[in-house]
């Protein structure tokens, strides 16, 4: 329900792009890096460094507070940060589950050759491989590298699927799909994906495939997600009163946005 492609950006010493301590409810975050490093801390007491190829998975459930900051060992270094973060809505029956966190090292993520492509199965199952990362509902997430001149015939792997080129344009059934543009797939059959003409010989395109089972409508405001409007209002009040917990060692407090969540009137 939310897809963030951050970077590539060169992090310089003394420049602060840290994601400060903030609350979340009703969703799971999936963080994946191509380059760089980030330090995750949360109100469960978790402190976990993430580096390229690994996955940090956090289920906010009934409420969690977390931050993502520049690791201490990189404070005085310039480095490239580049990655993706997905927010996945939790099924209604799991929205109030206890919060949790899992880290899956890069070495545990399965990778498979499919034709000329290399596919890492980050979430769900594809091409005979199953990711070890837990999910609350059927979810698909692939990291695909496709050399210039190669093609991948992508069959339906989930009820809903989309493509997102990270590096290098693609040809999707002959139609150009540019970097930074998401395409929702509607075909019931296989789709041919090729590296676009702009990918030089010897280089490769890189793209994400995401998908899963529809979970129905959700309300989203700031970092709060719920199937119930009143739950977002309650979370807002809890955060304002500082009842949602704290990240150990964090002292900053981010107030609620000035424009508050206002549930729309029912349609007549």
Domain boundaries, the chain: 2-97+216-240, 108-135+138-212
* Contacts within 8 Å (CB) and 24+ apart, 176-185: 180/5, 182/3, 184/160, 185/154, 185/156, 185/161
Question: 265 pLDDT exceeds 90?
Answer: no
Percent pLDDT > 90 in the chain is 91
Look at residues 214, 133, 208, 114 and name the one whose alpha carbon lies nearest to residue 168: 208
Residue 96 is predicted with a pLDDT of 98
Q: Is 266's pLDDT higher than 70?
A: no
The model's pLDDT over 209-237, given as tens digits with 9 standing for 90+, comes to 999 999 999 999 999 999 999 999 999 99
How would residue 115 be classed by pLDDT, with cut points 50, 70 and 90?
A: confident
Q: Is the pLDDT of residue 99 over 60?
A: yes
The band of 149, judged by pLDDT with boundaries at 50, 70 and 90, is confident
User: 2-97+216-240: what CATH class?
Assistant: mainly beta
As a whole number of angstroms, the distance between CA 223 and CA 232 comes to 9
When pLDDT is averaged across residues 154-176 and rounded to a whole number, the result is 96
Residue 55 bridge partners (DSSP): 32, 104
Digit-coded pLDDT (tens) for 151-161 = 999 999 999 99
Parallel, antiparallel, or unpaired: how do β-strands 38-42 and 117-123 relate?
unpaired
Tell me which residue has tokens 């693609």. 170
When pLDDT is cut at 50, 70 and 90, the band that residue 126 belongs to is very high
| Pairing mode of beta strands 125-126, 129-130 | antiparallel
| pLDDT tens-place string over residues 31-43 | 999 999 999 999 9
Token pair in block for residue 105? 């090292």
Q: Which residue has tokens 């970097």? A: 179
Query: How confident is the model over 78-105, as a mean pLDDT?
Result: 98
Question: Under DSSP, is residue 47 helix (H, G, I), strand (E, B) or coil?
Answer: strand
Q: How far apart are CA 179 and CA 195, in angstroms?
A: 11
Q: How many other C-beta atoms are found inside a 10 Å radius of the C-beta of residue 266?
A: 5
The residue-averaged pLDDT of 169-182 equals 95
- What SS3 class is residue 92? helix
Residue with tokens 């729309």: 264
pTM: 0.94
Cα distances (Å, whole numbers) of residue 5 to 133, 193, 263: 20, 21, 29
What confidence score (pLDDT) does residue 98 get?
A: 98
Whether the domain at 2-97+216-240 and the domain at 108-135+138-212 fall into the same CATH topology: yes
CB 37 within 8 A of CB 53: no
Q: How far apart are CA 238 and CA 188, in angstroms?
A: 45
User: Which pair of structure tokens corresponds to residue 209?
Assistant: 């495939």
**pLDDT category of residue 103 using cuts at 50, 70 and 90:** very high
Confidence label for 202 from pLDDT (cuts 50, 70 and 90): confident
Neighbouring-strand partners of residue 152: 193
Backbone angles phi, psi at 216, to 5 degrees: 90, 180
- What is the average pLDDT score of the chain? 95
Q: Mean of the pLDDT values across residues 166-170?
A: 94
Q: Choose between 267 and 208: higher pLDDT.
A: 208
pLDDT tier for residue 267 given thresholds of 50, 70 and 90 = low
Q: Which fold has domain 108-135+138-212?
A: Jelly Rolls (2.60.120)
Using alpha carbons, select from 190, 149, 144, 137 the residue that is nearest to residue 163. 144
User: Is the pLDDT at 264 greater than 90, yes or no?
Assistant: no
Is the Cβ–Cβ distance between 71 and 38 less than 8 Å?
yes
The single residue listed with the structure tokens 């990711």 is 131
Percent of the chain whose pLDDT exceeds 70: 97
Residue found under tokens 């596919």: 119
């Amino acid at each position: 329900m939310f897809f963030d492609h951050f970077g590539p950006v060169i992090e310089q010493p003394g420049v602060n792009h840290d994601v400060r301590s903030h609350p979340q409810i009703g969703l799971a975050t999936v963080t994946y890096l191509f380059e760089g490093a980030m330090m995750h801390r949360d109100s469960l007491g978790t402190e976990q460094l993430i580096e390229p190829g690994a996955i940090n998975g956090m289920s906010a459930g009934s409420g969690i507070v977390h931050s993502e900051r520049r690791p201490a060992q990189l404070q005085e270094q310039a480095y490239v940060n580049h990655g993706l973060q997905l927010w996945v809505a939790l099924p209604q029956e799991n929205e109030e589950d206890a919060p949790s966190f899992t880290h899956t090292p890069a070495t545990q993520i399965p990778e498979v050759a499919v034709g000329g492509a290399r596919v890492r199965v980050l979430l769900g199952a594809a091409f005979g491989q199953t990711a070890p990362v837990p999910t609350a509902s059927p979810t698909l997430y692939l990291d695909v590298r496709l050399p210039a001149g190669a093609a991948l015939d992508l069959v339906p792997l989930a009820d809903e699927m989309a493509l997102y080129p990270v590096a290098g344009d693609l040809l999707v059934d002959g139609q150009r799909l540019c970097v930074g543009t998401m395409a929702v797939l509607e075909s019931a059959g296989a789709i041919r994906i090729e590296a676009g003409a702009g990918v030089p010989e010897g280089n490769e395109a890189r793209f994400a495939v995401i998908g899963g089972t529809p979970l129905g409508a959700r309300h989203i405001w700031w970092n709060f997600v719920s199937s119930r409007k009143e739950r977002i209002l309650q979370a807002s009040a809890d955060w304002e009163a500082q009842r949602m917990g704290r990240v150990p060692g964090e002292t900053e407090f981010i107030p609620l946005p000035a424009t508050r969540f206002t549930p729309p009137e029912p349609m007549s």
